[in-house]
Each structure stands twice: as structure tokens, then as C-alpha cells.
Amino acid sequence: MDTQRRILEYRPDIDGLRAIAVISVVLYHAFPGSICGSGFVGVDVFFVISGFLISSILYSGMDRRVKGTGTARPFSFIDFYSRRVRRIFPSLIVCLAAFLVIGWFVLLPDEYRLFGKHTAGASAYVSNFILWYEAGSYFQVTSQTKPLLHLWSLGIEEQFYLIWPLLLFIAYKLRLSVFALAAAGAMASFGFELYFVDEAPSAAFYSPLLRFWELMAGGILAWLIIYKSEPFSNLQYRTGVCLSAVLHRRQSKQDSIRLCENMLSAVGMGLILIAVSVLDSREFPGYKALLPVMGAVLMIGAGKDAFLNRYLLSNRTMVWVGLISYPLYIWHWPFLSFAWIAGGGLPQPAVRIACVILAVIMSALTYYFVEPRLRWGSHAGAKTLGLLAVMAIIGGTGFAIMRQEGFPSRVDDPDQPLIDVSELRMEDDGRRCLESIPDWKKLSENLDITQCRFQRPSGKNTIAVIGDSHGGHLYAGLTAETGENDGVAVFPAGCAVPLIGLHAAADPWSVRVYPERKNSEYLISEAFFYILSHKNIKKVVLAHNPVCSWKNVIDTYGNAEQLGPCSAKPIKNSLLKNC
């Protein structure tokens, strides 16, 4: 098979691999904590696929332009970027325009201002830099309220397409080793990422230079398949022979190659499934990204005739999902994020399922009725200029929304909906705590800031705050910054000292004015008992205003009689029930 044919041959299994990537991302976003608990790694699979396909096109074009080989038209930078614009702009333009309109009616001014900012960034494919500058983690709870958060990956890809063709052109002109260039770039990118994943996690996640190694992995694979097909085939044959010997089989050369292909495909699929299921978001990407990246490399390298590639990935349903994977990736997250914003928290499963179905419908409509008319056919130059102009208008609109602070005149009272949503969420969080400590509300002061709250169901919170009402004030801020694997439980009691055996504000005057404060020590003791009984709590914050205790604290081990009938020892199960 000649080089040109190898490059241009359509591989349905790659569309099937796209399907696995987009399904894992959609399930991760729609059903956090489900079977695709780390489905965010689907983006890493996308990176490998993009690097493989685009590098294959570039190698072929550079050969024709620099070496004069082949009969097709030589590589042109203008033609390359024109094709990219017609490929990626149509779906994104329709999605951004639709949600700019929806956001006008749904989002509060601050939310709409942020949406305008991210729209402007998405239109210029610099979303990753904007999110990096905001210094927020992709895995924070507040990320749920950023409908364009997912477009950071498109920014990474397009920035790669700006740099990689130029480097290849220079390498071909100077007769440098493309393989050495790609390998050195990938190793440098990966090495820096391993360093920054600890030192600067946001940079490790959003920086294009620290993510390029994933696309380079696909580019290196494309080079091996195109230019080293014979050595690659011989290596597969020798590996197959070794496997045959282990299995006590005698097979032909073709059967040995096929055995090796099946092994590569199976191992690759296993790596991807492990990555999608069990990885956590801490210190990601780092070395953890090797699982999905190497899995994708092995599955592509196995070829379209490997068993899994032929019968699973090339299945008509998988191929169809792969064909709409790009618009589906673009559409699904804004629907889910808007539902989260409108409901003030994670939507009900039925709502999330409806969002996914709606995203699939919009993706299919975009794929069949929008993309073909702009991606293919005549007048390519005019279509490209038109798309660039429309995208500039979309970006300018987003910038105007940001400058106008989200047009606050759209709503009569912009603060009231936010207050209502916050109050509903606080009530839900309070009910979660009362399921574990039912007497807390009865024994504490009747103040919002002295109610215990669980951000997540009991057993899934990792941070605990124990203290007085000042600890209660910390709850809203901490919950806004927690990641998907974390949660905050707060235990605030009026003027309480967050230490065992001490009781503040216990003088007769304080107890007469605030009678519930006689229970503060017992509430704090119950909080400590809860923490000691739940191993999921990893961090404990002690919060206290010393004004309550600097001259009015009692050591209850030595003065227990001053505390009345509820003087049970601290850290005792069912302590509150005895009071």
C-alpha cells in the first residue's frame, strides 16, 4: 500500500473511538460519580485522535510541497486553515449564538457578564488562557456555572494547529528528522507537565505547551504508520510469533500480525476503560494522563482490522455517535450548566437526561443541516471569510456583554433570584446534617449561621468546620471552592470554643440572654464525635472569635457542675439525646 493511500484511507474505527471519548465526557458531566467517574479523560483521547489525523494530513501535504512527491495539490497554509475554519466554526457559531439568546432570559447580570467574557474567549479560541487566568480548577463546584468551560480543549487544539504546521514546514525545508522533533517536543511537554502539576495545577491543565505532548503522541504514531510501515509490520509479526509460542500455536505471518493487532487493541481498550472509571482529578493530568493517551495510541495503532476495532468501534451506531461527536461535545455542557444555574444545584436525573437528549438532537441537526453546507462544496474562500466575520460578531457581542456588566436592566431585582436559590440550597444542606444529628437545630441558637450543614450526603464530605457563628460564615465560601471529590460539613454553635472540655459564654448573663448557648459545648462534642466516626473527613478547620472566650471560658472537666443537668462527658455517642 503506497503512502498516499495509507494517509487518505477512511477508518471507521477512529470514529468509533471518538464515540467512546464523547460518551465518557457526556456521562461524566451529566452523571458525576457514575460508572464514568473520571470521564473527563475522554478529552485526552480526543487529543490523540486529532494529533494523529491532522499530522497525517500535514505529512502528506509537506511531502508534496517540499519534496515534490505525489500527484495531489501541495500543502498550503491558507488552504489548511481555511479547511479548519469550515470544519470547526459552524457548530460553535450556532451553539454560541443560541446560548447568547437563552442567557439573556435566564442568567443574572453577573452570570451573563461572565458568559459574555467566555463567549469572547471561545470565539478567539483562547478559553484555556481565560480559565487559567481566573485561577479556577476545572473540577471546582463553581465550574458547573460556567456554560463554556468545556471549550478550553478547543483552544488547546487550535493553538497546536498554529504551531505544529510551521514547525513541520521548517523541519521539512531543513531536512530535519520529523520523528526526532516530535519526540523531543513531546518529552519536553510531558516533563514540564509532571513538574507543574504539583507547582501550578491550573497551568498543567490549561497550558497548551504542557498539553501538546498528548497531540504529539498521535503525531508520532502517524509518522510511524506512514513512513515506517514495514518495520512496524515486522515488529507486529515478531510480537505475534512470541504470543503464538506462548499460546502453543503455529500461525501464518498474517495470523501472527492479526494476533498482535488484537492484543494492542485489547490492551488499549483496557487502559481507556480503567482511565474512564477509576482515575481521580487530583494531580491531573500528570502521569495519570498516560492511561488514556497510551490507550488511544494502541487502539489506533492496532489498525481497523483488529477484532475490537472491527466489531465494536466500527459498529454503525458507534460510528454515527463518532460522526456527531464534535457538535455533541459543544452542545451538551451548556445545556447541563444552564440547568444547574436555573435550579441552583445539581439537577434531578430526569432533567439531566432531558439535557443530554436535547444535546444529541441539536448535534444531529447541526451535523446534517449546518456543517455540510459550509464545510463542503464550492465557494470555499467566501464561506471561510463569512464564517470568520460571523465569529467576530459573536465575539464582539460577548465582549459588549462583559463591558456592560451583563445588562442589569434586563431584570427588575437582579439579586432576589440569587438569594432565593441560595436559601433553597442552604435549606437542603441543613436537612442533610439533621439526618445525622437531628437535635442540632433544637439545641442551637435560632440563627442561620449556627445551623449545621452538609454540602454532600453524610459519608461523602471531606472537610469539616467546627466553631462558632464565624465558622458558619465560612460555609458559603468553602463550598464554592470545593472540587467534585470534596464536600464541606460545618458545625457552628453560638460562641462555642472548638475544643473538647471548654465552654465559652457560660456566665449567667450570657445564658439568660442566649439560653441555647448552654448547649454549645455539647454540640461541639457531637461534632467531634461525628468526625471521629467518619473516615472520609480529611481536613478539619477550627473557627472561633476569641471575643467570646478571652475572659469567659470554663474548663468543664474541673467545673462540670456549673453547666447544669447536661454535663455528660464529651465525645459520647448519643450525647445530645441525653440532654
97 in any annotated domain? yes
pLDDT for residue 172: 86
Does 203 fall in a domain? yes
Tell me: do 327 and 462 sit in the same domain: no
* 140: helix, strand or coil: strand
- CA-CA distance, 50 to 162, in Å (whole number)? 14
Domain that holds residue 545: 416-578
In this structure, the answer to whether residues 372 and 481 fall within a common structural domain is no
DSSP string, 506-551: -SHHHHHHSGGGGGHHHHHHHHHHHHHH-TT--EEEEE--GGGTSS
- Each residue of 474-493: pLDDT tens digit? 887 888 778 777 889 898 88
Tens digit of each residue's pLDDT (9 = 90 or more) over 340-379? 988 877 888 999 999 999 999 999 999 999 999 898 888 8
CA distances 316 to 20, 27, 49, 298, 530, Å, are: 13, 21, 19, 22, 53
Identity (one letter) of the amino acid at 510? Answer: S
Q: Which of 358, 379, 403 is the last residue of a domain?
A: 403
Pair 442, 398 in one domain: no
In a domain, residue 154? The reply is yes
Whole-prediction pTM: 0.75
Looking at the structure, tell me whether residues 398 and 455 fall in a common domain: no
State the pLDDT at residue 158: 94
Residue type, 387: L
Residue 5's pLDDT band, with cuts at 50, 70 and 90, is very low
At residue 17's C-alpha, the angle toward residues 15 and 20, to 5°, is 115
**Co-location of 116 and 255 in the same domain:** yes
User: What are the backbone dihedrals phi and psi of residue 543, each rounded to the nearest 5 degrees, phi first?
Assistant: -125, 130
Distance, CA of 453 to CA of 431 (rounded, Å): 7
Instruction: For 250-300, give the DSSP string.
Output: ---HHHHHHHHHHHHHHHHHHHHHHHHHH--STT-SGGGGHHHHHHHHHHH
| 408 in a structural domain | no
In a domain, 395, yes or no: yes
Per-position b or e across 233-264, b if 16+ CB within 10 A of its CB: eeebbebbbebbeeeeeeeeeeebbbbbbbbb
Q: What is the mean pLDDT of the chain?
A: 84
Nearest CA among 78, 147, 81 for reference residue 111:
147
Evaluate the CA torsion angle 411, 415, 420, 424 in order and state its sign.
positive
One domain for residues 391 and 468: no
| Residue that finishes a domain, picked among 343, 373, 403 | 403
**Set of cell numbers at residue 120:** 469572547
**Which 3 state secondary structure label does DSSP give 228?**
coil
Q: At 465, is the secondary structure helix, strand, or coil? A: strand
383 and 429 fall within a common domain: no
How big is the CA angle at 369 (ends 365 and 372), to the nearest 5 degrees? 125
**Domain co-membership, 292 together with 328:** yes
Question: Do 364 and 430 fall within a single domain?
Answer: no
- Both 357 and 437 in one domain: the answer is no
Give the mean pLDDT of 191-200: 91
Residue where one domain finishes, among candidates 373, 403, 433 = 403
In a domain, 411, yes or no: no
Whether 557 maps to a domain, the answer reads yes
| Confidence at residue 249, expressed as pLDDT on a 0 to 100 scale | 61
Residue 577 has pLDDT above 50, yes or no: no
Say how far apart CA 188 and CA 203 lie, in whole Å. 15
Domain count, the chain: 2
Res 135: pLDDT = 64
- CA 160 to CA 50: how far, in whole Å? 10
Burial class (CB in 10 A: 0-12, 13-18, 19+), 409: exposed
Residue 6: its pLDDT value, please?
46
- Report angle CA 268, 278, 311 to the nearest 5 degrees: 35
398 and 504 both lie in a single domain:
no
* Range of lowest pLDDT (92-106, 213-227, 294-308, 506-520): 506-520
| pLDDT level of residue 565 (50, 70, 90 thresholds) | very low
Is 53:7 a contact under the CB 8 Å cutoff?
A: no
Q: Is 24 exposed, middle or buried (0-12, 13-18, 19+ CB in 10 A)?
A: buried
Q: Are residues 375 and 472 in the same domain?
A: no
Residue 344 covered by a domain: yes
| Residue 189, H or E segment | helix 178-199
Indicate the range of 135-139, 226-230, 381-385 predicted with least confidence.
135-139
